[in-house]
Amino acid sequence: MKRLLSLLITLALIMGCLPALAEDPAPIPVIPEEDLSPTPKGIHHYMLICIDSWKTDLKKTGNHTDGMVLVTVDEYAQRVMLTSFIRDMLIQRPDGDFGRLNNVMDYFGREKGGIEALVKTINTHFDLRIEDFIVVDFQQVQNIVDAIGGVDITITSREAQYLKNYPISASATTPALSGAGTYHFSGYAAVIYMRMRKVANIEGETQDVGRTRRARIVLTSIADSLKDISYDQALALLDTVIANTIYTSMTTDDLFEALDLAMELKGTEIEQIRMPVDGTFKPMPVAGMATQQIDYIANREALHEFILDSFVVVEDWE
């Protein structure tokens, strides 16, 4: 009897030391493709997907998506909008199982339509009809940023210290990094800046939330640097983008149409939002994965209000 009592006490102590089991995630209210809302006339969506690699082979595994930013252009309202998606949001894959957003492409693989599965996942979770997308990796982002001559970025002292410790060369920024301030970043330095997660940015954000803002900052800086670009210079830049694209759904005609639209709206103030918005997500460990459980209904409403609000300029939703 004493041995049995001792065993029960030991088991109780052991169980008390174990981490709590993850709660079951709530059902995700995905929308069937046939029920997705139509894209309003004059609005164009372009999905930018960056793979977590410096040299990508889509035939191999391990191609997780490091950055996902939707560029939305409203040619009637003369608006350009950026929507960034955090990588670790809990989603329902097209096969019905739970997963992380940044794992969808790799899970299905290139030959099974992994990129298209990722775009489909974003569409069915956020009620969008994205058809046009471009896939790049870190090296290609570096090449594109270098092709435009670099970008201006304002950083905190902690960000500066991180970059110096990484390390990046003294010539990677102008002037050489010394502390908080605004610097002209080369392509390599811009990529390293965008990938930071553990260091708070100027808004105090860390992890994927901070990383998504950094991606939007770089894209906005690129747009600002091109506000006086000529059509011939834009054509040369388009050639650079095409040469530094792993895969795209867009035809040559699609790319030239997007270029014409960009030239029409160059200099337009860039508006931004992050998915998910504050107060609509919480940590949710699932099957050994660190994920964020999202209130998709609230975020669909926030995103559609942002995109369709042609009368009030919204700089950010945070």
pLDDT at 55: 83
The 10 Å Cβ neighbour count of residue 256 is: 13
Q: Which tokens is 108 given?
A: 């299905």
pLDDT at 4: 47
pLDDT at 204: 64
Contact 102, 87 (CB under 8 A): yes
Q: Calculate the CA 229 to chain-centre distance.
A: 26
Q: What is the DSSP letter of 276?
A: S
User: Distance (Å, rounded) from C-alpha 255 to C-alpha 285?
Assistant: 40
pLDDT at 305: 94
Greatest Cα pair distance in the chain: 89
Task: Determine the residue type at 265.
Answer: L
Q: Which phi and psi (to 5°) does residue 69 adopt?
A: -130, 130
User: Distance (Å, rounded) from C-alpha 136 to C-alpha 253?
Assistant: 20
User: CA 38, 43, 45, 46 torsion: positive or negative?
Assistant: positive
Rama region for 42: left / alpha / beta (φ>0; ψ in -120 to 50; rest) = left
Q: Within 29-126, where are the H helices?
A: 104-108, 114-126
pLDDT at 274: 93
User: Distance (Å, rounded) from C-alpha 140 to C-alpha 150?
Assistant: 14
Three-state DSSP class for 277? coil
Mean pLDDT by 10 residues, the chain (318 residues): 47 42 74 94 94 79 83 94 94 90 84 86 97 94 94 93 87 92 95 87 74 90 91 94 93 93 92 94 84 94 88 41
Helix axes 231-243, 138-147, angle to 10 degrees: 160
Domains and CATH numbers, the chain: 25-31+40-308 (3.40.630.190)
Q: Tokens 């926030």 label which residue?
A: 302
Parallel, antiparallel, or unpaired for β 173-174 and 90-92? Answer: unpaired
Q: What is the DSSP letter of 156?
A: -
Q: What is the DSSP letter of 77?
A: T
> Which of 125, 146, 45 shows the shortest CA–CA distance to 299?
125
pLDDT at 15: 42
N-to-C CA span, the chain: 61
The 10 Å Cβ neighbour count of residue 3 is: 7
Which residues is 82 bridged to in the sheet? 71, 272
Contact 277, 317 (CB under 8 A): yes
The 10 Å Cβ neighbour count of residue 1 is: 5
Q: Tokens 């949710």 label which residue?
A: 284
The 10 Å Cβ neighbour count of residue 54 is: 12
Q: Which tokens is 239 given?
A: 């050639």
User: Distance (Å, rounded) from C-alpha 246 to C-alpha 156?
Assistant: 33
pLDDT at 7: 46
Three-state DSSP class for 240? helix
